Chains A and B, each alone.
Chain A
Amino acid sequence: MRLTPRGWWLLLLAILTIFGGLVGAQAFQWLVSGISDSTAGLPPFMFGSIPALVLLGLSVLIWILYEWLVFAWRTRLATRHLRVTHEVLDGNTPVQRLWAGRTYRVRVELRLERGPELPFAAVMDRVPFGARHAGGSVQTDGRLTPEEPLRIEYQIHCPAVGRVHFDGVRVRLADLQGFFYRPLFVRGPVDLRVLPVLTNDLGLPATEKHHNLLPPPGIHRLKRAGSGSELLDLRDYIPGDPPRTVAWKVSARRDRLITKEFESDVPIRCTLFLDTSNSVRLGLPGANALARVVDVAAAVVQASAGVRDLTGLCVFDDHQVRTTVRPARTKRHVAELLLLLADTGMLPPAAPDVPLEPLLRTGYTFAEETYPHLLEPELNTVPLGLVRGWPEWRQLGHTPSRGRRLGRLIGWGVLTILFTILVLTYYSAIEWMYDDLLPENGIPRPPDYFVLGAFLGMILLSYMPFLRLFTEGLPALFAGRSRKLARWRKQLAALLALRQGLGPGGLGRLLEDNREFSLALQAFLAEHHIPYQLPMFDEQGHYLYGSPGKIDVLARAVVQAIGKGHDNELFVLLVDLTEMTDHLDPLLAAVRLALARHHQVVVICPWPPDVPPPSAHPPEPEQVLAKLLKERNLPQTANPVELRPLVDRLLIARMHQEFHRIRQQFARLRVPVINARSGEPVALVLEHLDRLRGFRSRR
């Protein structure tokens, strides 16, 4: 419970009024002319209290105390019985799963199950980051009683596949005068999946001829006898062959029994390899490269299921294969894949070596809103000396604040003065000892080096305690920003250690280990579906998320799929290969193996939404830089603000060039590479599936 400025002022003035009424006149007289002179010869009541003022002050004080007691009692009893419910409605029907691209109504109800009524409660719901606010107010206020709950109703639109997560509602309680208030968060987590949009016509058989029915040169069918409907060959009858396979006309012509052999009727299989490494997760969930490839994968899954083809999915990241689902075509299997894709679509990025301050700011702001009870200073203390000796901030790229620099400057100034005083004092003492003390007592003069050593030793011993005080303590006193960051970090570290069950030493470790703290904080934000932005390049311009390890993971997964696969499968690699062109050999070897087994491979590169798709022959970044510099006539030492668009253009040119190289490498194997933003990836995959089908059934 907190006192508002309005409450503070009235309380302070009420107390001052009481004191003014009791001793105001006397104090004023005492200040003006001295109490002893002024009271001489006057009756005692002349300097008595002023009842009107005392009664006025006492009345106000009693009123405030009453309001405080009632508010504290009500909030303490009632807050334990507050419950919140979230209901998402499609029309008038509550739903548990949402579909991308549709709008839903959200109904929130805050109920007080029992306890005293709350005279004023302001309730606010946070629109989940996986959805977009599409109308209606997200807040309300009023009196809250067990009989009369507070309700909010608004609309959300789900733009992308993923999850929609409601944590609870933010509630602020206050008395009617606005003297006291208490912020709290009523938790009632609800997590709903947003499934990919259902495709209508993608799965239908093509009505137009999009491709040549003959297989392209260099690709041959794998003929194998089976129980299909297409004729493969004719051979002599072997006893035991079913009579229905006998080719009667041919047998009559040749005068011996001939049997028909049919092709193996192996269904078309398509395996999707979905890259969920950090490089595709960058950006806001639902609006990043991963969201687009998830859309593509979902469309392919549904289209394949529509024509009874089998589809499998392999989800991998930088280090391992996260999930593998074998190809199948049942409805349950399709639903399983869609759920898996919905979960995958909202995966957040995680990078340990990133600047901590922006993350800390986002994390603390969110925690302050959602976990105010766990940040209370009574439970989550912040010792005064916490900021002292906090060198890690500098290693994280945190520049010392102006206050801290000023404090350090003052500290060194004081230290210099102190040092001079110490030197002069000790020098005077030695001089007195040499000139007066020793001759008077007849003591022989000690050697000079002994005196010099003692002199320096005394100075050092006296000086050292002050050194830390003035170089660390004083700067910390002036560094409001550092103190604030240190407080945030300590309180958040305690919260994270508690929520993530890090044990007794977890808090201490999170305070000292920046990587651990960064990862724990990112996991915390991801748990609550709070987006956070991470830098893509380090200070030297190196791409931070290029992970050669994922190429090996993918190559192993492809080889494994080939080993378990059947004839003529399609492998769709939805993988980000940017900045990987030097590490592609294992993947190229795996693709060669797949092609040798008569499978087909398609590569679809996830593409950031804010980067334009590349042209067929993108220019080199150096050419782009030269052209831009010439166009804008920029000097070499230009303003960073002016350089920003230039750097952006260069990065885009670099991406285009990288994509071009990837295409070149795969073109040698005749494997098409397209980016997920352009080139209609779903159509390409379906065309390949249709072509595979055509190898068997169409002549």
Chain B
Amino acid sequence: MSTNRETEPSQPLLVRLYVLATIGGLSALFLTLWQHGLAFWAIIPVLAGALGLALRWRGGVAVVLILLGFILLGQGYRHQGGFLAPPLFPSRALERSRAPFALTDLLLAASFLTYAAAQSRLLALTIGIFPTDPRIVAAARARRLVRMRHPRAKPLSPLETLPLPAQRRTARGPEGRELIRLFVGLPIWVALAIPIWLWLRGRRPGLPVSPEWWRAFVVLWGLGFLLIAGRAVFAYLRQATMTVEEARLYLQDVLWQETRAEQRLLNRWLEWARRRARTREKS
């Protein structure tokens, strides 16, 4: 990258800071899980996370979350009296599950968020911040074939000869604000989850289903409502902030949708007449 800020000396510092944050998040996760009573099971998600960190694996965060879910589900299932629970999962005292939540639950969420945010930002700096563009992949493959003089190589189109866009975020100097915002934000997200959970926990079923299923339905409806309301608001904002060009395109499209069958019929007849005229002219 040739920019005015390219040659700043502390280029890899940001990467190192996020590596440290990821390791910190994983360590906190391990301690919290241990405190949660999971004994050596605590090591499994941490190991997966460490592997994801070392290999810069895109799916690392997702796998850690899946493993966490599986372990916590297994633990909860066992201490709630599940008959088929694996005996390896340790069980906590039954009384603890009467409380709305424990401190370790909050610490667990905070440590996972730290890990997930730091790992995602690290991946953005080292692997890619944008999703893989199939056109870039196709252009790179076409160029490789041409370079190798492969028999299947095709001549490159002019657009394929252009420089390919970078996918990674360039690591520059330590952006203090982004780190502060991250670490300030994490406890807030966890804290915001508490009232929602308490509100959810107080819901009584309005249908003949168990309270847990009723809560699940409430969450489902809530998400659906959020989705619909969010889409409506953003669609309105989109229309309200349209440029003249976009508005004209929208109106043109509406007109075409309303009359496309008639337009197609007319234009096909006209096209037929033009073709016939050209054929006669040639003959």
Contact = CB atoms under 8 A, between A and B. Distances in A.
A124 B270 contact: no
A619 B197 CA distance: 90
What band does the interface of chain A fall in when counting residues whose beta carbon is under 8 Å from B?
35 or more
Interface in B169-223: 169-170, 172, 175, 178, 185-186, 189-190, 192-194, 196-197, 200-201, 210-213, 215-216, 219, 223
A494 interface: yes
B76 A512 contact: no
Contacts of A174: 124, 129-130, 169
Interface stretch (A56-64, A229-237, A410-418, A625-633): A56-64
Interface string B62-75: 10011011001101
A76 B256 contact: no
B106 A24 contact: no
B113 A59 contact: yes
What band does the interface of chain B fall in when counting residues whose beta carbon is under 8 Å from A?
35 or more
Given A47-B210, A512-B267, A25 B249 contact: no
A379 B4 CA distance: 38
Given A20-B73, A76-B237, A140-B1, A6 B246 contact: no
Interface stretch (B20-28, B48-56, B95-103): B95-103
Contacts of A659: none
Contacts of A6: 58, 61, 120, 123, 131
B238 to A, nearest CB: 7
B216 A19 contact: yes
Given A15-B223, A140-B3, A141-B170, A48 B80 contact: yes
A257 interface: no
Identify the interface centre among B69, B162, B196: most chain A CB within 10 Å of its CB.
Answer: B69
Given A52-B105, A55-B193, A152-B3, A47 B268 contact: no
B241 A80 contact: yes
A50 B73 contact: yes
A126 B186 CA distance: 40
Interface string A22-50: 11111011001100001000101111111
A178 B257 contact: no
A397 to B, nearest CB: 15
Contacts of A532: 158
B250 interface: yes
B2 interface: yes
B218 to A, nearest CB: 9
A581 to B, nearest CB: 22
A282 interface: no
Given A60-B113, A366-B159, A379 B77 contact: no
Contact of B169 (A28, A120, A179, A514): A120
B106 A513 contact: no
A505 interface: yes
Interface in A1-22: 4-6, 9-10, 13-22
A360 to B, nearest CB: 12
B65 A176 contact: no
B116 A60 contact: yes
Identify the interface centre among A17, A63, A514: most chain B CB within 10 Å of its CB.
Answer: A63
Identify the interface centre among B106, B210, B252, B274: most chain A CB within 10 Å of its CB.
Answer: B252
B136 to A, nearest CB: 11
A66 B163 contact: no
Identify the interface centre among B98, B109, B245, B271: most chain A CB within 10 Å of its CB.
Answer: B109
A25 B76 contact: yes
A512 B105 contact: no
A119 interface: yes
Contacts of A508: 256, 259-260, 263-264, 266-267
Interface string A52-89: 11111011101101100000100010001000000000
A26 to B, nearest CB: 6
A387 to B, nearest CB: 13
Given A23-B212, A365-B135, 15 more contacts: A13-B62, A16-B69, A21-B76, A46-B81, A50-B72, A52-B104, A53-B76, A60-B189, A124-B166, A140-B170, A141-B170, A178-B129, A383-B257, A494-B253, A495-B249
25 contacts: A5-B131, A6-B123, A22-B200, A22-B215, A23-B212, A24-B76, A42-B81, A44-B211, A59-B109, A59-B112, A59-B192, A62-B192, A65-B226, A76-B237, A140-B170, A141-B1, A142-B5, A170-B165, A172-B165, A181-B130, A284-B158, A358-B157, A495-B249, A504-B252, A509-B263
Interface of A: 4-6, 9-10, 13-26, 28-29, 32-33, 38, 42, 44-56, 58-60, 62-63, 65-66, 72, 76, 80, 119-120, 122, 124, 126-127, 129, 133, 136-143, 150-154, 170, 172, 174, 176-179, 181, 284, 358, 361-362, 365-366, 373-374, 378-381, 383, 494-495, 497-498, 504-505, 507-509, 511-515, 530-533, 641
